[in-house]
Amino acid sequence: MRARVYVSLKKSVLDPQGKTIHHSLQNIGFRKITEVRQGKFFEIDFASELTREEVRAEVEKIAEDVLTNPVIEEFSYQIE
């Protein structure tokens, strides 16, 4: 089973990388963009014997404890 975890800066946190990309895109002619924000995602493949509920529990723990800095980041996830 595969889970995808998306980690991004909280909306309240300035995203300098996103701003830089936005600025560069405007410079090369993409003027209809109002905002760009960047994040990371992780594809995690789990052994097949785990149930969907077990995968959900592991993903939440991994996302909270390892993949995310709770002070400035938030996460969401999908299980495929």
Q: Which residues bind its own copies (CB under 8 A)?
A: 6, 8, 18, 21, 24-25, 28, 30, 32-47, 49-50, 54, 58, 61-62, 65-67
Nearest to its own copies of 28, 71 (CB atom): 28
| Nearest approach, Cβ of residue 5 and its own copies (Å) | 10
Nearest to its own copies of 66, 71 (CB atom): 66
| Nearest approach, Cβ of residue 64 and its own copies (Å) | 13
User: Which pair of structure tokens corresponds to residue 21?
Assistant: 């990309």
Distance of CA 73 to the CA centre of its chain: 9
Nearest to its own copies of 51, 71 (CB atom): 51
Give me Rg for the CA atoms of the chain. Answer: 16
| Nearest approach, Cβ of residue 62 and its own copies (Å) | 6
- Rounded distance between C-alpha atoms, residue 74 and residue 65, angstroms: 12
- Rounded distance between C-alpha atoms, residue 31 and residue 50, angstroms: 47
- Rounded distance between C-alpha atoms, residue 63 and residue 17, angstroms: 22
